[in-house]
Structure 1
Amino acid sequence: MLQWQHTTAPAPVIVSTSYSAPSSSQASWVCQQPSTRREWRTLSEPEKNDYINAVQCLATKPSKLRNNGTLYDDFPWVHKRASTYTHKSAPFLPWHRYYIHLYEKALKEDCSFTGDLPYWDWSLDWNNFHAAPVWDSVSGLGGDGDASGAMTVGEGRCVTKGPFSSIKVRYFDGEEHPHCLSRGFPSDGELKELGELIKPEVIEDLMTEPDFDKFASEVERRGHKFLSHSVRGDLSKFTGPNDPVFFLHHTNLDRLWSQWQQTDPAKRLNAYNGKANGNSMEPAQLSDPLDMDGLSRNLMVQNVMETQGGQFCYKY
């Protein structure tokens, strides 16, 4: 395991954790043995425990971006700072593909994780949200906030059961606001209505959309509204990566994009259009940069379009 030391500099220090992509002299490099990202409920108990332990480990490692906080805190910090340009615009799917890759890389390099990112296929739980295996307090990521506890953030309360019941997160909506991991599941009626957004037939219909911009916009709208409104608490704001379920959610979104691409690779593998970012109306291009705000070196969109080539070597 790599050992990192706290910095004592008076100003934030950025240390790059850049991913080493094949150089021009390695142009023949190909992904020959892709790893497989699997749905949470298909993992064995030891595999679930290994993943949970690695995520917990991130909270014991010092931040690589700031003078305070942890490596766990770096991810919500960066996500919030990039949120205005990465959401409701074309970079949403490619930016998050690279972002969750960096999260997986941190789990492996800093916390000795030997598995792969899992995903939560919430379409399987659209009509029975509470029974989703991810909420199990023993073999999952813990459940709802304590109904008898005080309100904390985002209409949520402290999660008091499960592996993340004792974790403390530093930010909420970009501000320094140390607090417990918080969730606030709404009423059964609200959950049923939200489930309509992501039920299997809706997802199947999305896969028939030929236009990238329309597909990506609808996946973002449905997936984000479902998750943020059904879990609330930390997931109600762009510091949502405070909640470890965020990464299972975004790995699922990446899976849906990958499936959409593979439906018609000749047309969809490099399909990319829409707004270049959420702050302008410039048309999106494959040469647009993906800004990781110091978490790693920036790449271009064209570098992250394939899951089995270039930067990556995984499948679903």
Structure 2
Amino acid sequence: MRILRLIFLVAFGISLTAAASCTPEKALTRKEWRELGSTERTDYIDAIWCLRHLPSTLPNEEFPGARDRLDDFVVTHINYTNMIHFNGILLPWHRHFVFLWETALREECGYKGSVPYWNWALDADNLFASPVFDGSATSLSDNGVYDPNEPIPCTPTGKCFPRGTGGGCVQSGPFKHFPVHLGPLNASLARSYRPIPRYAFDYNPRCLSRSLNPYFISNYNNQREVDKMLAANSISEFLAIMSPSEQNTTSAHGAGHGTVGGSMSDLFVSPQDPSFMLHHAMIDRVWAQWQDQDPANRNALNGTTIIFDPPDAPLVTLDTLVEFGVLAPSREVRETMDPMDYGYCYAYT
């Protein structure tokens, strides 16, 4: 497997020497959205639209809903959902997923910047004033039109929370007319060992929807919760706040999705919302900050390779392979543990 990855890297012109020589001075800096100037924000927005206008690399007869390069990321997320959430793979897999997104923007769309992150804690007290969602020309658009029939958000086991404030199509900003092509998919598909049905990849064009929900961000994504994660003494304590495997709760990870609502709250197709990568960059940032407190001992893992950590599922180890479909070759978990190694070279403000 290592030889195959070496062949892939050489074939695509990726220098192992350059990757090994990453230093803080060379690292790409990922900034919080409000730290970006208006031109930097516009460049990132334009790069997302660029992916929307590039052809998909997936066979249309197998994946009819994949109409463009952005959809390749959505399909990949759908395909692996039941192996990369509420378990020991969540953090490693999504770290590489965001990196692959960043690489595609830079290499396929000429984007010069990095993936921004959304520091939820800065918006925990006033979500509607967030520069990420204020609907301005340099935001990621705004709330959705209010839909009185929007379903109440509930966990797979039936614990429910206050509904959001929208439910319909976003109303203004750069993604007002942003199409989504896949889903929606029912959360009941999130079950151990259940294969993803073929209809999950059907073409279903519609608008980008949102339902901003202050309940989630104020309770689960505030600075107090971030501080508790950073103070965790083990990866199990960290994940208990970030994303526990229990089905009847929510957490910083799930609440970030629920805060945006709409398309973002769909476990399977949430990468269709442009805020997805900013949310997961923040998750990666908090994880990286926790790791940096004790680098020698925090390549720690907890959980299995199956959603909700069923007792008979394989435990994650550093040798566990994670898959990325057409986006990239498989990768050992050990190769996802350091943002400054194994081809990564990035840091957060």
Instruction: Indicate how the Cα distance of structure 1 residues 193 and 93 shifts in structure 2: closer, same or farther if over 3 A, else same.
Output: closer
Tell me what 2:130 maps to. 132
Amino-acid identity (%): 32
**Cα distance in 2, alignment partners of residues 178 and 199 from structure 1:** 34
Tell me the SS of whatever aligns to 1:130.
helix
**TM-score normalised per structure 2:** 0.78
**Cα distance in 2, alignment partners of residues 203 and 307 from structure 1:** 20
Q: Is the 8 A contact 2:72 2:326 kept in 1?
A: no
Correspondent of 2:326 among 294, 310, 313: 294
**Cα distance in 2, alignment partners of residues 97 and 167 from structure 1:** 25
Instruction: Indicate how the Cα distance of structure 1 residues 99 and 130 shifts in structure 2: closer, same or farther if over 3 A, else same.
Output: same
Q: Deviations over 1:129-183 (max 9, x none)?
A: 111110132211000112379979x972111311111121110133422111111
Q: Is the 8 A contact 1:150 1:157 kept in 2?
A: no
Q: Is the 8 A contact 1:65 1:295 kept in 2?
A: no
**Cα distance in 2, alignment partners of residues 219 and 281 from structure 1:** 21
**Cα distance in 2, alignment partners of residues 19 and 273 from structure 1:** 33
The 5 A counterparts of 1:147-296 are 147=146, 156-172=167-183, 173=185, 174-176=200-202, 177-186=204-213, 191-192=214-215, 194-220=217-243, 221-237=250-266, 238-268=268-298, 270-278=299-307, 280-296=312-328
Instruction: Indicate how the Cα distance of structure 1 residues 37 and 76 shifts in structure 2: closer, same or farther if over 3 A, else same.
Output: same
Instruction: Indicate how the Cα distance of structure 1 residues 97 and 48 shifts in structure 2: closer, same or farther if over 3 A, else same.
Output: same
Q: Is the 8 A contact 1:37 1:314 kept in 2?
A: yes
Q: Is the 8 A contact 1:30 1:310 kept in 2?
A: no
**Cα distance in 2, alignment partners of residues 148 and 233 from structure 1:** 11
The 5 A counterparts of 1:46-61 are 46-61=39-54
Pair 1:38-2:31 in alignment: yes
In structure 1, the gaps of 5 or more residues are 1-15
**Cα distance in 2, alignment partners of residues 217 and 148 from structure 1:** 33
Tell me what 2:195 maps to. none
Q: Is the 8 A contact 1:276 1:282 kept in 2?
A: yes
**Cα distance in 2, alignment partners of residues 302 and 313 from structure 1:** 15
Question: How far is 1:125 from its partner?
Answer: 0.8
Q: Is the 8 A contact 1:19 1:296 kept in 2?
A: no
**TM-score normalised per structure 1:** 0.86
* Matching residue's letter, 1:315: A
Q: Deviations over 1:286-316 (max 9, x none)?
A: 0101110221111010011111121200001
Tell me the SS of whatever aligns to 1:196.
helix
**Cα distance in 2, alignment partners of residues 28 and 195 from structure 1:** 39
Question: How far is 1:228 from its partner?
Answer: 2.7
**Cα distance in 1, alignment partners of residues 75 and 296 from structure 2:** 37
Q: Is the 8 A contact 2:335 2:341 kept in 1?
A: no
Question: How far is 1:229 from its partner?
Answer: 2.2
**Cα distance in 2, alignment partners of residues 136 and 246 from structure 1:** 16
Instruction: Indicate how the Cα distance of structure 1 residues 89 and 140 shifts in structure 2: closer, same or farther if over 3 A, else same.
Output: same
Deviates more, 1:273-282 or 1:82-91: 273-282
Question: How far is 1:19 from its partner?
Answer: 6.9
Pair 1:63-2:56 in alignment: yes
In structure 2, the gaps of 5 or more residues are 1-7, 61-65, 154-165, 186-199, 244-249
Tell me what 1:10 maps to. none
**Cα distance in 2, alignment partners of residues 148 and 285 from structure 1:** 45
Q: Is the 8 A contact 1:90 1:273 kept in 2?
A: yes
Q: Deviations over 1:22-70 (max 9, x none)?
A: 55xx499220211110000010000000000001111100101233500
